Copies of this chain bind each other. A is one copy, B any other.
């Protein structure tokens, strides 16, 4: 038992997975949940993981030893402001936001200095949304990045260590890094991929010469993987791009520059340039497989009902 009382503010896919995993691990004794959606509150109550389910953030966080903000990035500040008056001095406040600089600032502005603020980001999720889509194993083997303050006091350091123990108990591996660096790393590994996926699916949807039925029918040639990413929660992602604007635009600029060079190589039939790039990108994949981030045979059993799909079919 790591925290006597856990409060989760915003209980969608991630929030509900946190309470499921915390219960499964016996990491908490009491669980309180605050969610603005009546439909969500009903589903959460039905799950039976929470002792208290309310629309009142202050009521949920009262006496909590750990408060996890799991609302969309742009809603973090207002949620923290609503919680502030009821937060217990010495409690730890964290979040699961995909952007850290702006969220940490919003939280720090809203909550009293007597609270230990340790911003965090579990790199886990699916394209599903809502409390019903959560599951206790979501964080198993995944990385959680914490971006603590420079605060060297023993009390704060103890709070960071305890939060790290909490995530470890939920099955995750914990890394600590600077918030700005987190935002740049995630712009590359997550935000740009989502932006590109949303864009390519949008481009395909707007084609006149190719019907949507055809796009869906022949999506096994590579397109399908993009549609899965592009099915992610619209509110969550709108907020991420707006909150990590500078890093995303910086990476997007590099991507566009590279794409123009690639386009030019195709136009002028520069096969060697294409071959060189296509060979180089293979190494990254091998690195990911070697690093154990994914099975060497992702094409088998990738989903329950379909035959072995061809993510790289042509």
Contact = CB atoms under 8 A, between A and B. Distances in A.
Interface of A: 98, 121, 123-128, 135, 137-138, 140-143, 145, 175, 181, 184-186, 188-207, 209-210, 212, 214-232, 234-242, 245, 248-249, 251-252, 254-256, 258-260, 262-263, 266-267, 269, 271, 274-275, 277-282, 284-288, 291-295, 297-314
A156 B99 CA distance: 61
Contacts of A231: 281-282, 285-286, 312
Contacts of A241: 266, 274
Contact of A242 (B193, B266, B277, B301): B266
Nearest to A291: B216
Q: Give the oligomeric copy count.
A: 2
Contacts of A225: 193, 225, 228-229, 311
B306 A294 contact: yes
B278 A125 contact: no
Given A242-B271, A302-B303, 8 more contacts: A138-B308, A185-B214, A203-B255, A220-B293, A230-B278, A234-B278, A238-B275, A297-B303
Given A256-B256, A301-B304, A267 B284 contact: no
B218 A254 contact: no
